[in-house]
Structure 1
Amino acid sequence: MTRELRSLITGSSSGFGRATAVTLARAGHRVFAAMRAITSKNAGPASELAELAAREGLALRVIELDVTSDASVDAAVARVLDEAGGVDVVINNAGVLSQGPLEAFTVAQAEATFQVNYLGAVRVNRAVLPAMRRQKSGLLVHVSSAVGRVVTPLFGHYSASKFALEAMAECYSYELAPLGIDVAIVEPGAFPTTGVMANAMQADEARAAEYGPLFALATELWKPVIETMKRQGPPDPQQVADAILRLTALPAGERPLRTVLDPLGNGAVEEINRKTADVQRAYIAWMGLGGVLGRAGG
């Protein structure tokens, strides 16, 4: 690495976010590990990260950032820019899960899912992009999901929010490529110990129960994954952090738009990506925008 990369990561209290923050810092990045409630709910994780950074001499600072608040996002980004003088890598990792029939979640719960999984990234990107445009470089990474490309029953609102994230990120890839800014989407499949299940939104069980066998199917959905884990062992979330590190190390303009990390999957996401990439390229060319794809849309 020729110079220290200044990296901001949301949702760093656990799972992929925490692993990525530590991995990038150990690789020489100057990391701002962002999470909400660092003096209350996440005081423990915040303190543990700070202690690890001090013990290993890492350039890693924990900062307060709630992706659902414009003021919090703006304040956090202003702090990063003030302390680091700019930002090179932004990783939109914060997310919230919901599992159950769509009808069993209120409109307020659906809105809350989109506030974190989609609008959170919109806020962060909008806050950091002026600085990236001024320096004519940067990388926006969006941690999506396999169900951001394939629909799974009982994950409707979560899947919809990740589909929206994917569409937004791909659109950004076209718009930002001429400005020297790369965009990447990381699509993890089922990984254990990411912290997402522990904070999952709860469905209205009475309404969900009215779906009968479909509601009971919730426990069955994971059987193929569980059986694969028994044969192969559970995948290590560190794989996601390592993949993000590799993306940051690639030369500008050579980063793939999508990276699939679904060791327990059946190849469906990879197949969809291959087919839609061809269709998307043809569509963009038909619109007369083919030159944009020199740095985007791969």
Structure 2
Amino acid sequence: MKNVVITGSSNGFGYLSAQLFADNAYKVYATMRNPEGSNSEKKQELEKYSSNIKVVNMDVAEDESVKVAMNSIIKEAGTIDVLINNAGIMHMGIAEAFSIEQANQLMNVNYYGIIRTTQAVLPIMRKEGKGLIINTTSAYGRVFAPFAATYGASKAAVEAYTQSLKYELATTGVETILVEPGPFATNLAGSFSPEARTEIVGEYSELQAIFGGMMEEVATLLQSEGFPQPNLVAEAYLKLAEMPQGSRPTRTTVGLPLGADKVNELTQPIQDGSLQAYKMDYLLETKIK
């Protein structure tokens, strides 16, 4: 039985993924904040769903929380085959009106959180000569949109980090790859925080009206018949996890790509080709143990 750690498992993609991986004979360590408090119901639901699921308390925004949680998982499991960095938050609004503190909050969860968990699992994965890290970004991390400046910046940071790390880890057998969901009807909107610099918002009455109209259009789109459902992301995670070592694409779009798929198609050959200038083409292939 393979071991998978999934962050942000209290809802959305993470919750569905915990169930799907458990159904497919993985031992799932579903991490979330406050499993004995505000998320106690989610913890009970997941652990009741399958004996293959164990909920672990972890806040990706805190160094010590990640260290304690990952050490406990490794101690129990012995090894981690797959890490899915799924936890994330989102702010939408006028870029100028978000404070530095709010930008730091987004980066701390969406970007630094991934660095924390990745650094926690890499030593054991490198020792094993195999392992998979899936980092969840967004179509907004490749094709940038109005009113998503700080969110897009945090996801673009993960894109850069993951791509560079993928090259560096090629000789170890460990793979880092990206999943880029488009818009889905999850409760990610529940993590929205209004712009802190309210005096700036007041100076953008016309732009506020445009933003309001955009959000209405998005809400209608998400509720439309036949719109992609969140389970598609969980299924993408599983499909990638099941692929043979060394055969996984660097980037996978899911749902409505908003042009991210075309960006990937155009830029990935350029990105990989850039290694030729350094005579490091060998870093394009994952070492198979």
Same-fold call, TM > 0.5?
yes
Deviations 1:80-117 (CA, angstroms, capped at 9, x unpaired): 11111110000001101001112211111110100000
Q: Unmatched 5+ residue regions in structure 1?
A: none
Q: Secondary structure at the match of 1:270?
A: helix
User: What is the aligned residue count?
Assistant: 286
AA paired with 1:6? Answer: N
Q: TM-score scaled by structure 1?
A: 0.91
How far the C-alpha of 1:139 sits from its partner, in A, is 0.1
Deviations 1:40-59 (CA, angstroms, capped at 9, x unpaired): 22122112212222xxxx31
Distance in 1, Cα, partners of 2:26 & 2:81: 10
Q: Unmatched 5+ residue regions in structure 2?
A: none
AA paired with 1:196? Answer: L
> Over aligned residue pairs, what C-alpha RMSD do you find?
1.7
Distance in 2, Cα, partners of 1:126 & 1:229: 35
Distance in 1, Cα, partners of 2:224 & 2:66: 43
Matched, 1:196 2:193: no
How far the C-alpha of 1:221 sits from its partner, in A, is 2.5
Deviations 1:149-199 (CA, angstroms, capped at 9, x unpaired): 01111111100000001110111110111100011100000000x221012
AA paired with 1:292? Answer: L
Q: Secondary structure at the match of 2:118?
A: helix
**Segments of 4+ moved more than 6 angstroms:** none
AA paired with 2:272? Answer: R
Q: Secondary structure at the match of 1:37?
A: coil
Which residue is 1:156 aligned to? 149
How far the C-alpha of 1:222 sits from its partner, in A, is 4.5
Matched, 1:115 2:108: yes
Distance in 2, Cα, partners of 1:37 & 1:260: 31
User: Contact 1:96–1:201 at 8 Å: present in 2 too?
Assistant: no
Residue of 240, 244, 253 corresponding to 1:247:
240
What percentage of residue pairs aligned between the two structures are identical?
35
How far the C-alpha of 1:285 sits from its partner, in A, is 1.1
How far the C-alpha of 1:220 sits from its partner, in A, is 2.7
Residue of 108, 123, 134 corresponding to 1:130:
123
Matched, 1:9 2:6: yes
Which residue is 1:48 aligned to? 45
Q: TM-score scaled by structure 2?
A: 0.94
Distance in 1, Cα, partners of 2:284 & 2:217: 37
Q: Secondary structure at the match of 2:16?
A: helix
User: Contact 1:100–1:208 at 8 Å: present in 2 too?
Assistant: no
How far the C-alpha of 1:234 sits from its partner, in A, is 2.5
Distance in 1, Cα, partners of 2:270 & 2:32: 38
